[in-house]
Structure 1
């Protein structure tokens, strides 16, 4: 990781394009330890706002559009940086976090009401859900159970983004089974 990390830092310092800046979420990708965790953490407030502001169908459409944008952006940034899914590229985590909520909102509309009745997506029940999403997502993104790990081998931006989307599907499964315990 040292050589790739050094090259990532060099790329971030000297050859910054809008794609590498966006793919690394600006300075978030420079977080010295666990930039993927930092990228996931900064996604939570964005997800909270989307959950507060959008109905489920619009949230799902937003997640799809963000995913397609991230695939394209991360694929091009990979080419520009000359690295395969470098650690500093954290747009994929940022895009996957809102996807973690879709299943629970679909099977339990009370959660949609909880977000819409909250203060910009923040209340005690939603705070517990945000914490659960963050922790579960990091576990599945780091552990990479099948097929999460194999998705990383997909070409270009698809490999960068889809492992995180599949980790989000695992989070959805756990939340659909146990999300009611968070209320």
Structure 2
């Protein structure tokens, strides 16, 4: 791609992770950081919130933009924290506080009922060069696993230290960046987006 994709996020961890994922999936493609205001994320699904953020970036900057909305869905909690993952701790919300709160809430839940899934929705918004309606696309990636009983590992961010991916003995925070980039919900969602990017921007995108 000759024009860098704009990632609508102020999260430095996500920016670094997406730059690695995009670089591996589309060699030569680059990702710029969004420097505009944070939109109000009042959608009720991951897809809706991703679209809100991507639209805001296009309105602010004018270039094609993508955004993700992601979180962890715990089966025994009916899919919560879900879209509220980053705000699970309320006024005290932080990665550390959110993880500890979730583990406390599931302290008495047996191992066989601790299934959880990381979910990532990515929205791509491409403004029309002729001034017509923007083209909008959404894709979703899911990374199944279980919730551990204590934090393990120092890598990653968010709920990574308490999430053990399906088929793994390590937590997501114990994986290398390269391993995580190949397995994560964001990587799975972006792989689903690649054919759309190639259709929008050409085979060499």
Q: Which has the higher contact order (CA 8 A, sep 6+)?
A: 1
TM-score past 0.5 threshold: no
More strand per residue: 2
Q: TM-score range by the shorter chain?
A: 0.3 to 0.5
